[in-house]
Structure formats: structure tokens, C-alpha cells
Chain A
Amino acid sequence: MQQEIQRRKLLTRRAAVLALGQATLVAGLAGRMYQLQILDAAGYKVLADENRISMRLLAPPRGRILDRFGVALAGNRQNYRLVIVAEQAGDLAKTLDALARLIALDDETRHRVLHEVRRKHSFVPVVVRDNLSWDEMARVEVAIPELPGVSIEQGLTRNYPFGETLAHILGYVGAVSERELGSDPLLELPDFRVGKSGIEKSRDLELRGHAGNRQVEVNALGRVVRELGRTEPTPGRDVVSALDMTMQDFVTRRCSSEESIACVALDAVTGEVIALVSSPSFDPAAFSSRLSRAMWQQLATDPRKPLSNKVISGIYPPGSTFKPVVALAALEAGVLTPQTTFFCPGSFTLGNATFHCWKHGGHGTLRVRDAIKESCDVFFYNTALRLGIDRLAATARQFGYGAVLGLDIPGERPGLIPTRAWKLATTGTPWQHGETLIAGIGQGSVLATPLQIAVMAARLVTGLTVVPRLVRDNGVMAAGEDPAAPDFAPLDFNPTLRALVMDGMNAVVNERGGTAYAARIAEPGMAMGGKSGTSQVRRISEAEREHGLRKPNQIPWKDRDHALFVGFAPVEAPRYVCATLVEHGGFGSEVAGPIVRDVLLEIQRRDPGRRAPDANSVAAFAAPPAPSRNVGG
């Protein structure tokens, strides 16, 4: 009994200690609750709201790209996507079976859908088919009541109605790369596309627009419970290009006879690029979606370089098209007068080296005008030798050679105009006189893009530092508008001498004996002047010269000469210039000349630099309007 009392006393004492301990811990809990719910409550309220409200970005529709008269060259097409929400679908396999009876649905798609459904939350829509045709969509729409969980969503995809024709100018859009991520939150949207090349890239910011947003209440799984507020996105602005789509189309068709060609037509007064073709080309739509590896391989390894815009990125020896520059430089420098004569025996000897003229028998004695007309190499060997490479280079630079011109799409290459200093710096060996000789006929180290050759012609005929451009900042050209030319800086050339060179180029085409007489324009008032060029890809050996030159079709394609021609029209008051380079095409006057003739004739008839066509002919070119309809979903 005594023990029982003792034991109870001990227990009571220790129970009191236990109770005290427990009370202390509960008090601690209460204190912590006080801190959380009273002292720190404000901070946690902010966090709770952040949890609850989610900002969803709304992507703006991308601006269109128009031609100078308003024809849409790049736009957005409604893209109808078939999506399925697993939690509403019930028996997914049965629903897919039902769908397969309406539209084509292969096994691969079925597997992908079933796989994605398992991986995602059941309320997240899974795309079954992209790019539904109008017909397919109609069939599904009608059957929607029997297809639980199935709906049709619409999105926008970039659309290039003219496809390959404009791929090098407009470029294409693609998914945002790591490097392109910037401050614009739009770039982080998973489906967002940015310009990757061409105008799409250079004018991306204008075309892109500004994000809108949607404030939504979401739960922890990200399911939207309701929308709380909405700011609409600002659509991207339309960009007006200088192109005339009718001319572009004409030039494309005219160039289609050649395997690999670059052709550009400018308004010499405004510098606007009216047409620009680099062929072969590629389908820009293929880049907007996913490009297959095989297709990429094929595009990247094609020797005709379909991915390259040869007008601005291809660099070639300008050949004889360079001779007007040499002539003007020599005349300006005073080493040549209009009356100076040189004798051409068919070759020129410097030291122990012999430099040939293209004409085996030689041209005899001739002045500068006829030297241009007949493209006498020996005359220009003499001229270049007297002028010297550095003075030639200075003039060439004034014409736009040797540096990028600043065209408003990416990818321009500067080409090369050699000087003594350049040679010493890059090779460590001094300049040789022989090199001056071949530079005088646009060969050797001299490299230029077709655009530079066209700009050379524009600067020659206007006497102004014409800068080419692809985008018009003054919007779509209205009917009857004759836009004022931009203020180009005048070039420091004697107009009389400039006229003499132009006269030589007139003679090339319009006088019997000129190298391109066969390519003259007969239409009154529309005659062109120009200069042909045939630039050598491969050195011709003495042995070959002994045995007689081979015919072009006996030489492998990649070893054949490039055919060039640059022309301006009308010859009395030049407005348009056109430069064409046919890669490995053969003789410039025979291959490139007729193309330039046809382009310049057509462009004068249309006169897109001064005259807007009537509305009907523009509408005829517009792409068929995309079907617009609200699709329930």
C-alpha cells in the first residue's frame, strides 16, 4: 500500500513535468502561428495572389509584307488544328477510331496522341492533326457532337503565296533560338516565330508587334479557372517592299531557263530594287515547319547553292562589265583622253608574260569608245598599266565595289577591290604589274556581287551615290505617284567623260560590231545600253590555247565561264538598270545579254518606278483570300 502511494506520487510529479513540457510546445506552436498569420501575413498574401493569378501572353499576328503596289507577299494563314482533351474524351481509343473514319489518321499519329495524353495533364489539349484542309474540317465539325473532347483550334501560320520566287528576299521565320532570346517576353512563347533571314529578319521588330496578355486564375496544375483581365496584342506593322511582284514574276520566269542565275533590276533614280531573282531557290514554308535532315542536306550541298542569295552573297570576277569603271577612272585621272589610241595585236607582252585579248586576231587601233564597244582587252591592259591599281581601286570604290552597299536585308558580301597595300598585308608579297593588267579587265583578285554591278550602272547613269533598298518607308505607291528620289550624294565625275563611257555602252548594244548588238532593243525610245562580261572561272593553259579553245559544252559545268551583262534603259534618259549573272553560262553577250534585254524592255513598258497600275491588275495578283469563319471549339 505504501508502495502504491509512493508510485502514485512519483507518477503525478512526472505527469506534471510532462504536462508542462507539452504546454510549452503548444505555446510554441501558437507563437509560430502568430508570426505566420499576423506578423508575416501581408507578405504571404502577396505570394498567395501570385500563386493564383497567372499572366498568359497573347501573341500578336505578324505584319504582312507587301509589294510596292500592295500585293501581299507574306501573310498569315489560318491554320486549323484538331485537338483532343483526354478528360472529356472518355474512351480515347473509340474517339480516335471515330475520327479515323472522317479524316486520314495513321497509326503513328494514334500512338503519338496516346503517348502524349499519358504524359500530360488530362485537361491539356493534345494536337491530333495540324493543317486540316477546309474539307476535313467541315467533316469533323459536322460530327463534333458525337466526338467528345474533340475540338478544332485555329492558329496562324506564316504563308508565302509566291513560295520560292521570293524566298531570298522575304526570308522565312523559325523558332526562336537561344541566341535570339532578349527582353521581349514574346520570344519565350513556345510557338513563337521570328524572322531568320531576308526582310523577315531585317524588319522583324516592325513585323512582330507587341504582346498582349491575359490574366487568368489558375490552379496548381496550371488549369485556367477563369479569366480576370485581358489586354489585346498590338499586331505587327505591314512592311512595304520596293518589289513589283509583276516584274518579279516576269524575271523569275525569264530566268527559269538557266540552271543557276542571279538577276537584279533597280530603279536607278530611287535605288529601289524592283526585282531580284536568285535561282535555284527554296521553299520558305519548309523552314517555317520542320525541315527534314535529308532535305537540308540536299539544299546545303547543292553546288548551285539554292540557300544563297547570289545577288548579294555571290562574289564573282566582274569581267568586262568592269571596263566602264576602268575607262572612267583613266579618263578622270587624265592618263586617257577620248582620243587616245592603243593598238591591239591580239595579245600584250609584259616582261616575259603574254596577256591575250579575247579576240584572237586582235582589234587593231582603237579609241576608248570603241574599246568599250568591242570590249578590247589589250586596250584596257594598256589603260590599267598607265592608271595603276590604287587609282583604279579608288574609283571602283566610288562606284560601290569592295564594300557592302547597305541593302536592307542581311547577307550582303563586300567583294574585293585589290590595292598594293591590301596585297602586301594579306600575302606579304609586293604587287605585280601583271596583276594590274588583269584587274583592268575585271579578273584576278577583283570580286563583285551582281548587286554591286547593277549599282555601278545606276551610279554611272545618274552620277549619284545611289544606294539600293528593298523596303519602302513611304508605304504603298499610290496610282499616278512619281516618288521623289532620295537625296543621294553626287559623285565627283566629269559629266562629259561619264557621257562618253555611257556612249560606249550604248555602242555595245546598238551599233553593229558591238559585243551585244544581237541583244539590242528595237522598240523606239526603249533602247538600252550595257556591257557584257564573260568571267573566267579557270585559267586557260598555253597548251589549250595551242590546240584551240574547247566548245563550252565540252567543258564540265563547274569549269565553264560565268556570263554577265549589265544594262540601263532607256539609253537617252536612263531610269532602270539590270545586272544578270549566269553561273557557268558561257558568253555574257549571248547568254546574259538577252535576259537583261527582256527585263529592261518589260520594266519600261510597265514603268513601276513612276506609275502604279490600276487596281484590277493588282488584285489579279493577290493570293486567294483565306477562308475566314469562326470555328467553335
Chain B
Amino acid sequence: MANPLPEIGRREQTLLEKARSISWGLVALICLVAVFGVGVLYSAADGNMEPWATKQTIRFVISLMIMLACALLDIRYWFRAAYWIYTAVLALVVAVDLRGFVGMGAQRWIDLGVIQLQPSELMNVALVLALARYFHGLANEDLGRIRYLVAPAVMVLLPAALVLKQPDLGTAIVLLLCSAALFFVAGVRLRLLTLIGAAAGAAIPLAWRFLRDYQKNRIYTFLDPDSDPLGAGYHILQSKIALGSGGLFGKGFLLGTQSHLNFLPEKQTDFIFTTLAEEFGFIGSMVLLAIYSLIIAYCFAIALRSTNHFGRLVGLGIATNFFLYVFINTAMVIGVIPVVGVPLPLISYGGTAMLAAMFGFGLLVNVCVHREVRLNRSGESQL
């Protein structure tokens, strides 16, 4: 379909030029976090590469290559494929409900033979792509008309409801919040946003009925964590003990007592930040938080420098998505919000989460590489 593009003082980038314009600083920061993560997994296994660190390294390397490949593909390809990708991932999410098997008490996985895929994690990226394409094609004045917001709202609510039903409260929340941010930056009128917000508020009691008992318990526990220290509040209490006892400098690499003695639940996945903060202390957790903040700032900068609206929306969507994962996970393990079960991106042990994060960064770097490409409403280049 791609017609030969009219050039006005510009031409298509060669692959080499594209590679040069990759934001290598961002890639370096991502690798730094990943190395940090492998180190913590090594420690969580009592100073062993098995069972987590080796596998995680391999996953990271593969994901890194996928990320670079995504970055170098033409942005117009992503633009056109956005809805297809969204549909495909949505189909996978539905397939989880139908064919997925029960793991950890929740239907989240689909066995593709090679890897066990958790489609809900991919859904975040797919939704950002789809929404970015949709809003890219919308005229300014349409942003104030409610009928133009029905389609994106369905795009958001359909996967969110499916994911919530799996049940995966954390991912559903990320989906909703990330979409809300996209609606906001895409320029949807504030009064409409307020209206949507009010409607969402009204829907909370309805959503409450969808929650499983253990999810409700987590919220009760969050409200009063000391009420049941050996039951549902156990995780959060142990997590705080581990964190707090780390102090300023931490107990030292491989020397965390709480994680090594298994007082921490899920120490290699959702609660890995605790392991890290126990061993590296306040300084270590602040350094990690700083690197994460730097990555997010990088994402914002890349997004805002893009000359096409699609790229800007994808960039901000990926940035917000990444931010939400970091924030929700960290806030959860330090007891600021209820335990909803989202991984710490690039560090938590898990294949799909790593793949989804790197896929997102691939798109972001793609935006960076193709920042000069102009796209018209239907995705044709306008140079």
C-alpha cells in the first residue's frame, strides 16, 4: 500500500542512519536496570545463578534484540498494524479465559509451547498503539464530542473487563490508568474527562462485585495491615520489616536475612524490590528509583520531540505505562497501596513482563528514530 513518498528536502532514512539515531542513552539505562535485576535475582537464590538469574539474562538479551528490531521497523508499519496487533492480543486474552490453565489461582497464562505467554501484559502496549492511532486520526473539534469517545472507551473497557475477570486486578488498573492518561494528553476536553471520571467512580461498587474474596481481603488488609499479621496482612508486614531493617546502607549484597530466610513472599517476582532494598538500603532503593525516573524522563523527551502525533502519543503512553508499573509495584511493597500483584519492570522474574516492557521500549525508540517522519490523518507521510 505504501506509495512512493513525496520528498521535499527529505528522504527515507537508511538502516544505518536509523541505527545511529537510536537513543543509546536510554538503551544503556535499560541495560543498567536489567543488570541490577539479575544481581538481585542472583541474591534471592542465595547467591546462585539458578533458578532465576540465568534464565532472566537470556530473556533480557532476546528481548533486547526484539526491542531493537521494533525500533528499526518503519513507524508507518506500526501505525497501520496498530489495530491488528490490538485485535490479536485481545484474542489472546480471550483465549486465556478459554484455554488458559490455572496458575497461582488465576487464569493468566497461555502455553504457546516455547514460552508461557501472559497476554494481559502485552495488552498494555497493544492498547497504547491502538489508542494512539485512534487519537492521531481524530480532528481537534472531535475531541469535545462524546460520540467520538465511544470507540476508544470500548477499546479500553473490553480488555480491562477481561483482565479483571482473570482475575488480574493490577494489570486491569494499569490498563485503565494508562488509558486515562492517554485520553488526557490526547486532548480530550476536560469536562468530558470529568464526566468519564464520574462514571468510573459510579462503576466502582459494580467492579467490587467482580472482585474475588482474596482481592477484597487485600484491600481490607491494606486499610488495616496489623489486624491479621499471619493471614492476609503477612506479606505486607514481612515486606515492611525487610525494607525497614535494611536501613541507610542495607545489609549488603547476599546478606539480606528476611529474603534469604524466606520470610518474604514472592521474593523473586512481585516483592523483589524488598529484597533489593533490604540488601542495598535506602541508598540502593533511591538509586534504582532515580534510574527509573531518568528512563521515564527520557521517554517524555523522546515523545515530545516527535513531529507526528501518533509518535507523541505512543511515547507518552509507553512512558506512563512504565511509570505505573514502577509506582504501583513499589507503593504496594512498602504498604502505600493494596497488594494488587504487578511486577517491577525489568527486574521482577518473568518472561512476558520482560518481553512486554522491552516491546514498549522498542516502540519508544522507534518514535525516537522516526521523529522526523510526518504522518497525515490516515497514516500517509506528509513531509
Contact = CB atoms under 8 A, between A and B. Distances in A.
The answer to whether A binds B is: yes
Interface of A: 3-4, 6-8, 10-12, 14-15, 17-19, 22-23, 25-26, 28-30, 32-34, 36-38, 40-41, 43-45, 47-48, 51-52, 217-221, 225
Contacts of A15: 185, 300, 303-304, 312, 316
Interface string B335-356: 0100000000000000000000
Interface of B: 139-140, 181, 184-187, 238, 240-248, 257-258, 260-264, 277, 281-282, 285-286, 289, 292-293, 296-297, 300, 303-304, 309, 312-313, 316, 320, 323, 327, 330-331, 334, 336
Contacts of B297: 19
Nearest to B334: A32
Interface of B is mostly: helix
Given A8-B312, A22-B296, A45 B257 contact: no
A52 B251 CA distance: 14
26 contacts: A4-B309, A8-B312, A11-B313, A15-B300, A18-B184, A26-B327, A29-B331, A29-B334, A32-B331, A32-B334, A32-B336, A33-B282, A36-B334, A38-B282, A41-B244, A41-B248, A44-B240, A48-B241, A48-B244, A48-B257, A48-B258, A51-B257, A218-B261, A219-B260, A220-B261, A221-B262
A11 B243 contact: no
A23 to B, nearest CB: 8
Contact of B139 (A3, A22, A225): A3
Contact of B300 (A19, A217, A220): A19
Contact of A11 (B187, B257, B262): B187
B318 to A, nearest CB: 13
A37 B248 CA distance: 6
A219 B261 contact: yes
**Most chain B Cβ neighbours within 10 Å, of A4, A15, A38, A51:** A15
A10 B303 CA distance: 14
A32 B330 CA distance: 10
Chain A to chain B: the 10 pairs with minimum beta-carbon distance, closest first: A44-B244, A48-B245, A219-B261, A37-B282, A41-B247, A220-B262, A220-B263, A219-B262, A44-B245, A45-B245
A38 B309 CA distance: 44
Contact of B261 (A14, A29, A52): A52
A44 B293 CA distance: 28
Contacts of A25: 327
A40 B240 CA distance: 10
Given A29-B289, A225-B261, 17 more contacts: A4-B309, A7-B187, A11-B313, A11-B316, A12-B304, A14-B187, A15-B300, A22-B327, A32-B331, A32-B334, A36-B240, A37-B277, A38-B247, A38-B248, A41-B247, A45-B247, A220-B263
A20 B371 CA distance: 24
B264 to A, nearest CB: 8
A51 B309 contact: no
Contact of A43 (B187, B244, B246, B313): B244
**Most chain B Cβ neighbours within 10 Å, of A7, A10, A225:** A7
B316 A18 contact: yes
Given A37-B248, A219-B262, A3 B140 contact: yes
Contacts of B262: 219-221
A17 B293 CA distance: 16
A8 B309 contact: yes
Contact of A30 (B184, B286, B296, B304): B286
A395 to B, nearest CB: 67
